[in-house]
Amino acid sequence: MSGEKKIKVALVYLGRKGGGPVYSLEIAKQLQHKADLACVISAQVDNLASWQKDVKGITLVKTYTNFLEFSLSFLDLPRFLALRRKIKELNPDVLYFPFFHFYLPLISWWFKGIPQVYTAHDPVLHSGEKSSLTSVLQNKLIQKSQRVIILSSAFKKDIPKSADRVDVIPHGIFDYYLEQVQDQSEKPHPPTLLFFGRIVDYKGLDLLLKAFPIVQKALPQACLLIAGSGNLEPYQNLLKGQKGIILENKWIDDQNVAGYFLQSDILVCPYRDASQSGAIPVAYVFKMPVIATRVGGLIEQVEDQKTGILVEGGNVEKIAQACIRLLQNEDQRKRFGQAGYQKATTQWSWEGISDQVLTSLKKAMRNS
């Protein structure tokens, strides 16, 4: 309704790196046209220039740039008082937290009289993280929020009273990374598999490393590009002596993300468990097919035999055979890649996702 008064939304995102800044920025870019939006973001966020260019009404707050600063920040009472004052001055109708941050439970408690919506990207934390402080604090945040947004219906049952207060809104398209490069043409390269993102146990890099010699036996020219930060020590025995593996073991800055996708043919997500993968929306932007395991929300992101191939979790042989099949079939790769691009641009547009987020925010106000 054109005459309807816009609600006042305070979007609070205090993270700095990775997919979080991009996800939150894309939501804000669209939401600002549909609500009276104010954004409270970290002054240390990696994509600050993009926020300042594309979003009006930004309030910057000091957070931290490393673990020592993070630890000491909790002793900095003036910092928290300033944060509280800045949010209070916005006088929002509703608070929106698009990503977890360790400061959020405190902010939630300060403003418990204001309706709150939290997007839980990992409503059930990954294997190896379930007893962490993050899990405890996130559960508190979920309990206190009037609405909880999750990105996959697979986890709806894990949210208390989910029937009453959960909205399933998929991950948006990550065309932001495509915009960071001028030359978007694919680079000449050998048949290449891509493992992209943080290197942690639940992502199953060891399974892919075990599958890769099978792939190379069928396709000796095949390469495996591993791009992301994390500890490679647990994988040294699997890496030893393997040829055709390209290691980029470092944090990948936004402006460099596209390069890895443009020199690869297939994204492989051999995860042991997953809420969803932020790498999959990136792959689809580059019309790249995806091989993934049938775990968590991946089965909603990848349409088997349409945008990629789904295989049984933990099955090294099936991961290898899926890689061989797609590397050998260029027509199928192109068909799957085009279908993935179509899925992302139609079902995962930020315009549509922001409409759903706005609906969730309005529900929170009605239910408070």
pLDDT tens-digit series, residues 222-250: 999 999 999 999 999 999 989 999 999 99
State the pLDDT confidence band at 126, using cuts at 50, 70 and 90.
Answer: low
- Assigned superfamily of 178-347: Glycogen Phosphorylase B; (3.40.50.2000)
CATH class of the 8-172+349-367 domain in this structure: alpha beta
Output the CA angle 116-121-123, nearest 5 degrees: 85
DSSP state of 87: H
Question: What is the rounded distance in angstroms from the CA atom of residue 103 to the CA atom of residue 84?
Answer: 11
Lowest pLDDT segment from 101-105, 126-130, 304-308? 126-130
Count of residues in the chain: 368
Share of the chain above pLDDT 90, in %: 79
Paired strand residues for 195:
226
User: Between the CA of residue 201 and those of 106, 228, 268, 274, what are the distances in Å?
Assistant: 30, 13, 15, 11
Q: What band does 181 get if pLDDT is binned at 50, 70 and 90?
A: confident
Q: Output 108 or 67, whichever has higher pLDDT.
A: 108
Contacts for 51 with CB less than 8 Å, ≥ 6 apart = 25, 28, 39, 41, 45, 58
Question: DSSP character for 158?
Answer: G
Q: Which of residues 179 and 27 earns the better pLDDT score?
A: 27
Average pLDDT over residues 84-105: 96
Q: For residues 42 and 34, what is the distance between their CA atoms, to the nearest angstrom?
A: 23
Specify the pLDDT at position 200: 92
8-172+349-367 and 178-347 share one CATH topology? Answer: yes
Q: Give the residue extent of every domain in the chain.
A: 8-172+349-367, 178-347
3-class DSSP assignment, residue 14: coil
Average pLDDT for 181-205: 87
